[in-house]
Amino acid sequence: MIILHCADKNKWEEDKKLGIYGVSEISKKGFISCVNPVNVTSANFTVPSIKEYVILCINVDRVDSEISTEDDEVKIYGTIPVDAVVGTIAYTFDKDDKFLISDEVKDIAIINDVLANMNLTYVSHKYFSDGTDSRIILLNDAYVIKQNNPDLLRSEALFSEWYKSPKLQNVLYSDKDFRYIVYNFIPGDVMHTVDDFNDVVNNIKEIVDNYKVYNGEEFGYIYEPSSSWNVFLKTLVHERSLTLPESFNYLPKVYDAIAELEKYKFDKKLIHGDFGTHNFIKQDGKFVGAIDPIPMAGDPLYDLTYALLSNVTFLPHLSLDFLCELSGEPKDKVKAMLTVQLFCRFDICIKHHKEDIDDYLDFWYKVIE
C-alpha cells in the first residue's frame, strides 16, 4: 500500500542526500504523520502556506519502522529510507490556501485499490499519455490501469469478455462502478510505421474473421448507441463534416454511399471500433496485439476498412479488387464503405497528420471518383 505524507520541500531535498527521511519529524512529534489517499480531504491535508510543500508517496512495504492507524491518520514511528518514497506529487492549494485534491492523489487511491483487489505487491508505476483520451497508469510494468467514461469502460470489459485472444488486451479486473479497468500490458511499440504489410493484413483479417454475432439492440458505439447502422454512419459523417474545410465538398457522394450500404444485409457483430495502427502494437516489426477498443455493434467490414486506411503506407497496396477478395464482400459494398471511411479519414488526417492528406485525396480520386 502507498500512503501520503506532506513534507517541507526543502527538508525533503536535504534528507534525500542523506538516504533517510524524517529525523526532524520524529524529534518534534515522535512519528511521521501520513494519510491513506482514500481518506485525504482538504481539511486533513491543509498546512501553513509559509513554506513550500511536496507530497511524498510512501510504499509501506519498504518501511521497517512501526506503523499504526488512528482514524484517518497513519503514523510511522521512525525514519524511512529514501527508496520507500516511490514518487512525489505537487502540493496544490486554492486561493484560501486550502489543499486541492489532484488527479495524482486520486490515482494513488486507485493504485492501492488495484493492489488490494488483485493481490499484488507494488513495484512501480508510470503514466502513458501518447495518443489516448484515457488516463493510463502502467503498474509494475505489467498492468494497465485505464480511467475513462464508465459506460465506455463497461463496453470495453464486455469486448474483453467476448474475445479471449492473445492478440487483444484482456481485462483482468474491473472496478464495480467502472471508474477504471485493468488490462494486461502488451509490450512493444505503437505501430506508427509499418514494417511488414502482409503480416499486419493477416492479423487484421484473423481478428475480424473471429468477431461474434451481437444480438443486443445497439448499433454503433455500445456506450453511446444509435438506433440503426444507417443512423450511426450518418451521424459519424455529419460530425466529421463539421470540422472539415469547405473544399472537402464530398458529402452528397458520402450520403449516397450510406444509402448503397443499406442494400446489404450483414450479421451485426461486436467489433473493436478503433481498429487502426495507432492501436496496434509491434515487436521486431511484427504485429503482436491491438489495444484500446471503442466497442461497436456493426458490420465487420467497417473495422477491416478502417484498419487498412489507418496508415498512409497501406495505400499503395490497396485496390477494390484486393479489398473485395480480402473481405469476401461485393465490390459496390466495399466501395461504399471505403467512401464513408475515406471521408472520415480526411478529418482525422487534417487533425493529426496533415502531411498525409494529399495521399488520401489521391486515393479517393483513384478509387472513388
What is the mean pLDDT, run by run of 10 residues, along the chain of 369 residues? Answer: 93 94 93 92 69 92 94 92 96 83 94 97 90 89 97 98 95 97 96 96 98 97 98 98 94 98 97 97 97 97 98 97 98 98 97 96 95
DSSP 157-221: HHHHHH---TTB--EEEE-TT-SEEEEEP--SEE-SS-S-HHHHHHHHHHHHHT--B--SS-BEE
* CA–CA distances in Å: residue 102 to residues 42, 172, 241, 341: 11, 27, 37, 39
Q: Is the dihedral of CA 328, 366, 369, 238 positive or negative?
A: positive
DSSP 80-138: EEGGGEEEEEE--B-TTSPBP--HHHHHHHHHHHHHHHTT-----EEEE-TT-SSEEEE
What nine digits make up the cell of 132? 489516448
**Hunting for cell 472537402 — which residue is that?**
248
pLDDT score for 280: 98
Q: Is the dihedral of CA 290, 294, 297, 298 positive or negative?
A: negative
100 within 8 A of 89, measured Cβ to Cβ: no
What is the rounded distance in angstroms from the CA atom of residue 330 to the CA atom of residue 369?
18
Characterize the bridge pairing of strands 280-283 and 189-190. Answer: antiparallel
What is the rounded distance in angstroms from the CA atom of residue 171 to the CA atom of residue 173?
6
244 within 8 A of 253, measured Cβ to Cβ: no
What nine digits make up the cell of 204? 487484421
For 263, other C-beta atoms within 10 Å of its C-beta total: 10
Is residue 250 helix, strand or coil?
coil
The beta strand positions in 213-268, using DSSP E, are: 220-221
**239: which residues sit within 8 A by CB, 6+ positions away?**
none
DSSP state of 248: -
Write the single-letter amino acid at 336: A
What is the rounded distance in angstroms from the CA atom of residue 24 to the CA atom of residue 5?
14
pLDDT score for 30: 95
Determine the length of the chain.
369
What is the rounded distance in angstroms from the CA atom of residue 205 to the CA atom of residue 362?
25
What is the rounded distance in angstroms from the CA atom of residue 204 to the CA atom of residue 23?
59
The full set of domains in the chain, from first to last, is 2-102 (3.20.170.20), 125-184 (3.30.200.20), 189-367 (3.90.1200.10)
pLDDT score for 70: 86
Which of 79, 136, 82 minimizes the C-alpha distance to 107? 136
Phi, psi of 341 (to 5 degrees): -65, -40
pTM, two decimal places = 0.93
pLDDT score for 130: 66
- Chain centroid to CA 76: 36
pLDDT score for 5: 94
